[in-house]
Amino acid sequence: MATDPYLSVAALTKYIKKKFDADPHLRDVYVKGELSNVKIHTSGHIYFTLKDQKARMPAVMFSAKAKSMKFRPESGMTVLIRGDISVYEASGQYQLYAQSMQPDGIGDYYLAFEQLKEKLSKEGLFNAAHKQQLPQFPEKVAVITAQTGAAVRDIITTLRRRYPLARIVLFPTLVQGQGAVQSIVQSIQQANRTDSDVLIVGRGGGSIEDLWAFNEEAVARAIYDSAIPVISAVGHETDTTIADFVADLRAATPTAAAELAVPSRIELLERVMGQRQVMFRLLSNDLEQRRIRLTQLQNSYPMAYPDRLYRPFIERIERATDALQRETVLTARRSRDRLAMLSRQLENRNPSDRIRQAERDLASLGDRLDQRITQVFRQRDQQLKSAIRTLDALSPLKIMDRGYAIPFKEGGVVKSVGQLKRGDRLSLSLKDGEVETVIEAINPKDKERD
């Protein structure tokens, strides 16, 4: 019977493992590398990947050795490890079994993370003053993550379970690998052009390389510039990214982000019911207090004898009414007397009497004026007659009546013999006519006296 030449996978793996275990160079190795994808199990075992720029290998440190460590291993740290190499038969992979671990500087990713973190912190992108308050009851929740995977499923399931009133808008986004940064930035900007009330930006767990897009500056600034509050939900609770620092709120997981984004319908209902009971109790207490107060008021003295309560006021009203009536009569009497006095004064100052007196004065003045005018006319008439008589007495005609004549030469009156010479022609005006004559001789009076 021929021997079967084929080995089982387990047999071949066991054979390979023996080879690894038999190699003295692999029993005690010293290796330096960067930690990646560190996972600390609840049992205390630490699973991680040790890598450098050209290679990587899975590794594990069991809890018995991990307890003696003085630090907490994190992705991105460069460490010095002493251990041995063997094969994990279940997966057929060789891996490093760490016996001890010491930190030795930091890795490239970790250094880049710290540098960007310090830069953005100095610019104030992490300041609490810039954090926006999440709406208490959002109507629309935008989810920016990969369209498939556990993260989006957990977010949507949690949102629908806790608060079905909120509408969910998914922005399918590339969250890992080449193009992830631009895809995340574009989704945040698109979501800001909608009427969403809150944004959940994130993805599920992975290595630091898988999560690195959320450590890029472009993504951090897009989150900072978002007018809509942003919840960062990247990886697991132990994963911390730059997006977590910039976001308005960081969630440990995508599921936790959904729980932070919306209230719990059940909790709200319980709160409403609780408040309803409180209000009912308060209202009952208030009604009871009012009832007691009403009873006290009904039994109080004023309510028992209301007429006694108002009696003093009624008396005051009656007295005031009497006083008012007396004052009214007195005032009317004073007004009547005042009216009578004013009537008498008015009668004494009747304008018709003054008008009649003025008419009498005017008539007297008219008589006196007529007498004065008559007297003046009479005086003027006498003066006129006297002047006429004087003028008549001085008239040349009267003189000519007594035989005198007036000589004229060439139209002018001759008043002196010096105006004449012999042979001049004179015109003599007499009482009843004129005479033409010629001067034959001139005899001045002075010459006769000589």
Q: Quote the pLDDT of residue 224.
A: 97
Whether residue 2 is predicted with pLDDT greater than 70 in this model: the reply is: no
Tell me the CA distances in angstroms from 285 to 288, 298, 433, one per residue in order.
5, 20, 155
CA torsion through residues 126, 132, 134, 140, sign: negative
DSSP string of 133-191, one letter each residue: PPPSS-SEEEEEE-SSSHHHHHHHHHHHHH-TTSEEEEEE---SSTTHHHHHHHHHHHH
Q: How many CB atoms lie within 10 A of CB 405?
A: 15
- φ and ψ at residue 35, rounded to 5 degrees: -75, 140
The pLDDT assigned to 448 comes to 46
CA angle, 242 then 246 then 250, to 5°? 85
Q: Contact at 8 Å (CB) between 183 and 174? A: yes
Can you give the pLDDT at residue 383? 92
Which residues on adjacent β-strands are paired with residue 78?
34
Those residues with Cβ within 8 angstroms of residue 212's Cβ, 6 or more apart along the chain or in another chain: 109
- Dihedral sign for Cα 238, 241, 245, 249, please: negative
The pLDDT of residue 338 is above 90 = yes
Alpha helices (H) in 395-429, listed in sequence order: 396-401
Q: How much of the chain, in percent, has pLDDT values that exceed 70?
A: 97
CA 15 to CA 18: how far, in whole Å?
5
Q: Give helix 217-225 / helix 108-123 axis angle, nearest 10°.
A: 30
Return phi, psi of residue 161, to 5°.
Answer: -70, -40
CATH fold of 134-263? Rossmann fold (3.40.50)
Please say whether the beta carbons of 208 and 75 come within 8 A: yes
pLDDT (mean) for 271-280:
93
Find out whether 80 and 35 touch, Cβ atoms under 8 Å. Answer: no
Averaged pLDDT for residues 366-380 = 93
- Cβ-based neighbours of 82, under 8 Å, separated by 6 or more: 28, 29, 30, 98, 99, 100
DSSP character at residue 292? H
Q: Is the pLDDT of residue 93 over 70?
A: yes
Measured distance CA(281)–CA(208) in Å, rounded: 55
| Weakest mean pLDDT among 1-5, 98-102, 297-301, 366-370 | 1-5
| Residue 373 pLDDT | 93
Question: Rounded to whole angstroms, how far apart are CA atoms 245 and 249?
Answer: 8
CATH fold for the domain made of 9-104: OB fold (Dihydrolipoamide Acetyltransferase, E2P) (2.40.50)
Domain range summary for the chain, segments of one domain joined by +: 9-104, 134-263, 271-303
Would 9-104 and 134-263 be classified into the same CATH topology?
no
pLDDT in tens, 60-77: 999 999 887 767 788 888
The tens digit of pLDDT for each residue in 132-146 reads: 999 999 999 999 999
**pLDDT for position 325:** 92
Surface-to-core class of residue 260, CB atoms within 10 Å of its CB (0-12 exposed, 13-18 middle, 19+ buried): middle
Residues with Cβ within 8 Å of residue 241, at least 6 apart in sequence: 211, 214, 215, 232, 234, 235
In tens, the pLDDT along 204-215 reads 888 778 888 999
Q: How far apart are CA 122 and CA 89, in angstroms?
A: 50
pTM: 0.48
